[in-house]
Chain A
Amino acid sequence: DAGITQSPRHKVTETGTPVTLRCHQTENHRYMYWYRQDPGHGLRLIHYSYGVKDTDKGEVSDGYSVSRSKTEDFLLTLESATSSQTSVYFCAISEVQSYGYTFGSGTRLTVV
Chain B
Amino acid sequence: QQQVKQSPQSLIVQKGGISIINCAYENTAFDYFPWYQQFPGKGPALLIAIRPDVSEKKEGRFTISFNKSAKQFSLHIMDSQPGDSATYFCAARGTSGSRLTFGEGTQLTVNP
Measured between beta carbons, the chain B residues less than 8 angstroms from A86 are none
Given contacts A59-B1, A103-B44, A104-B43, contact A42 B103 (CB under 8 A): yes
Quick one: which of A5-32 are within 8 Å of B by CB?
none
Question: Would you call B100 an interface residue if the criterion is a C-beta within 8 Å of the partner chain's C-beta atoms?
Answer: yes
**Does A74 touch B at the CB level, under 8 Å?**
no
A90 to B98, Cβ gap below 8 A? no
CB distance A42 to B6 under 8 Å?
A: yes
Query: Please, which residue of chain B has its CB at the minimum distance from the CB of A35?
Result: B102
On chain B, the number of residues with a Cβ less than 8 Å from chain A's Cβ atoms is: 23
B43 CB → nearest A CB, Å: 3
Q: Contacts A42-B6, A42-B104: A103 and B99 contacting too (C-beta < 8 A)?
A: no
Residues on the A chain within 8 Å of B93, using CB:
98-99
Name the B residues within 8 Å of A45 (CB-CB). 99-100
CA distance A35 to B44 in the complex (A): 11
Q: Say if the beta carbon of A1 comes within 8 Å of chain B.
A: yes
The CA of A40 and the CA of B9, in the complex, are separated in Å by: 8
Q: How far is the CB of A50 from chain B (nearest CB, A)?
A: 10
Once the chains are docked, how many angstroms separate the CA of A96 from the CA of B105?
24
A42 touches B99 (CB 8 A): no
Which residue of A is nearest B90, CB measured?
A: A42
Indicate if A70 sits at the interface (CB-CB under 8 A): no
B44 touching A90, Cβ below 8 Å: yes
| B43 and A105 within 8 A (CB) | yes
Is B41 an interface residue when CB atoms closer than 8 A count as contact?
yes
List the B residue with the shortest CB-CB distance to A1.
Answer: B43
Q: A90 to B45: give the CA distance in the assembly, Å.
A: 12
Does B89 lie within 8 Å of A42, measured CB to CB? yes
B97 within 8 A of A: yes
Complex alpha-carbon distance, A26 and B56, angstroms: 34
